[in-house]
Amino acid sequence: MVIQHRYKSPSGKVQQAQQLENLYAKCPLFRARNPSILSSRQRLPPRWKPANCRKYTLPSANVKCRACADSRFSSTSPSKHSHKPNNEENFLSERTMLQIHGGKRLEGEVKVSGAKNAALAIQAGCLLCEQPMVLHNVPDLVDVANMGEVLQSVGASVERDGHDSNSLVLNCSELTSSSPSLESVVKLRASFLVIGPLLARNGETSVPLPGGCAIGARPVNLHIRGLEALGAKVEVKDGVVHATVGPEGTLRGSRVYLEYPSVGATETVIMAAVVAEGETVIENVAQEPEIVDLANFLVSVGARIRGAGTKVITIQGVRSLHGGEYTVIPDRVEAGTLLVSAAITYSNLWLSSIVPAHLTSIVTKLEETGCQIKFKDDNRLELIPPPELLSTDIRTLPYPGFPTDMQAQFMALLTVAKGPSVVQETVFEGRMAHALELQQMGARLSVAESTAFLEGIQEDHGGLQGASVAGSDLRGTAALVLAGLAAEGITKVQGLQHLDRGYDKLDQKLRSIGASVERISMDNAKD
């Protein structure tokens, strides 16, 4: 079927419809991006250029887009050249890697971005708001964009604010569906967080099971049990969780005990209970700062919540929530990762936009390695490295214990500390993959289940060597980037589709303090 339409591409060159047909036939990404190109001939394809397809090699770049390393865009930030992060971004992150020249001292100050894990829960919470909402300090992440798509799939509108790219404008006043689309949900585990607000708002919802990921099975039994305690009828069928509010037509406040202080399950029960009938008391809840931020957001739009940040949360149900503006907290895990980048390279570093209280366990462990951390006024700190990093032991625990999301980064740090260390992961059963990659870089360690035994730097050996390594999850990839900063020679880190999910321009931030980190296309990389 040959189409006689002619298309005007952004570069002004006239495109042959046939060319687009070929692309449509051959390139799954082009299809994903332009699903309707064969159905509505009127719609002009936005700014897709053949060169973005796997078949085409990327040109040698002077100014590179951080996602696609493409040089034809004037600005490095995807959102600034209206590059909408989605599958395409994942694909392109998969096609790029970081090349790191190690051994460089870092210097300067970095502003920490908004917290991914707070922003995702708050985005889900916006589904309860019957008026428009503006969220500030929202990081520019693939996960945040994907959560936006989940909300759009039930009829919400989600836009980046044209004036402030770190703000999101959301309008969930007119939802058109009570169940998110499968396409949007499968891209993001945290999408399961919409089950509480959609059930409470619509009285019923069906949300696909998020399934496991590289770090563990990650069941959602505690989420389901929490909703059942509020009177919901829940059935899991063919990989989908179907929930309805039961005969009274609304959820009912009640006592909920969580067997484990799960972050996600706590968030689900809070979001379901804020518009339930009566009072809910949730015990053994998670106390993470992201939980407190979600509760503060919900209170700012009319909810009645007490005790967030403690072991027991009490909620008085209200009829509905309004809209407003809210600013997301800074990302304590990004702050921790940047602090380790300074410690592992023996560099002085300043961080701004931090909340000291959120960093207590991380700072304590850094001090045990010999670092000094000086807090300057209420949202800045300075790290001063020791003459020699000392070993220490790490055991991950729910907050306020040491965060599992910092385990990998500290493992990288302790591979270059003097003396042996033990790193024990207790929150997720499969979060040790980075240990094998660190071994590739010369780290002397062994792993037994979820515990790693590190030899650290010894008299007769020590230090990391540059190598080609690949991350298989978000924090594991970040740990390999940090190891590359300390390693001798060149390290090539693959797995940026994981990194870009949770770090807002990490490579740019590291470059801004003197690191030699370059995002290169795998198609152009010469081994």
The residue ranges that bind ligand EPZ (CB under 6 A) are: 116-117, 120, 190, 216-223, 260, 262-265, 286, 404-405, 427-428, 474-475, 502
Nearer to ligand EPZ, 37 or 190 (CB): 190
- For 166, residues 6+ apart whose C-beta sits below 8 A from its C-beta are 113, 114, 136, 137, 138, 139, 140
Nearest to 285 by CA among 304, 262, 303: 262
Token pair, residue 21, equals: 């047909």
Nearer to ligand EPZ, 350 or 399 (CB): 399
Q: Side by side, which strands form the sheet with 133-136?
A: 157-160, 168-171, 133-136, 324-327
Please report, as a single letter, which amino acid is at residue 250: T
CB of 260 to ligand EPZ, least distance (A): 5
Q: Respond yes or no: is residue 27 known to be catalytic.
A: no
Judged by beta carbon, residue 111 or residue 225, the one nearer ligand EPZ is 225
Distance separating alpha carbons of residues 355 and 377, to the nearest angstrom: 11
Q: Are strands 240-244 and 233-237 parallel, antiparallel or unpaired?
A: antiparallel
Structure tokens at 381: 């700190």
- Judged by beta carbon, residue 417 or residue 496, the one nearer ligand EPZ is 496
Neighbouring CB atoms inside 10 A of 8's CB total: 11
In the bound state with ligand EPZ, the residue whose beta carbon lies nearer, of 150 and 389, is 150
Which one from 27, 68, 213, 371 is the annotated catalytic residue?
Answer: 213
CA distances to 80, 81, 112, 167 from 162, rounded to whole Å, are 10, 12, 21, 9
Rank residues 277 and 290 by Cβ distance to ligand EPZ and give the closer one.
290
List for the chain the helix, strand, coil content (%; round to 5).
35, 25, 45
Which single residue is written with the structure tokens 């509480």?
196
CB of residue 81 to ligand EPZ, shortest distance in Å = 27
Q: What is the closest distance, in whole angstroms, from the C-beta atom of residue 141 to ligand EPZ in the complex? A: 10
Q: Least distance from C-beta 225 to ligand EPZ, angstroms?
A: 8
What distance in Å separates the CA atoms of residue 442 and residue 438, rounded to the nearest whole number?
7
- Smallest separation, CB 232 to ligand EPZ (Å): 15
Sequence-ordered list of residues with C-beta below 8 angstroms from that of 49, at least 6 positions apart, any chain: 9, 10, 11, 72
Is the separation of the CB atoms in 167 and 132 below 8 Å? Answer: no
Show Cβ contacts of residue 65 under 8 Å, excluding neighbours closer than 6 positions. 71, 73, 75, 76, 77, 78, 81, 83
Dist CA 200 CA 189 (whole Å): 20
- 292/301 Cα distance (integer angstroms): 14
AA letter at 191: S
What DSSP element (H or E) covers 122? helix 116-125
Residue with the CB atom nearest ligand EPZ in the bound state: 264
Q: How far is the CB of 517 from ligand EPZ (least distance, A)?
A: 20
Q: How far apart are CA 360 and CA 358, in angstroms?
A: 6
54 vs 218 by CB, closer to ligand EPZ:
218
Q: Which residue lies nearer to ligand EPZ by CB, 208 or 323?
A: 208
For residue 422, give the amino acid letter.
Answer: V
Query: Cα separation of 264 and 225, whole Å?
Result: 12
| Helix, strand or coil, per DSSP, at residue 405 | helix
Nearer to ligand EPZ (CB atom), residue 259 or residue 388 = 259
Q: Which residues have a catalytic role annotated?
A: 213
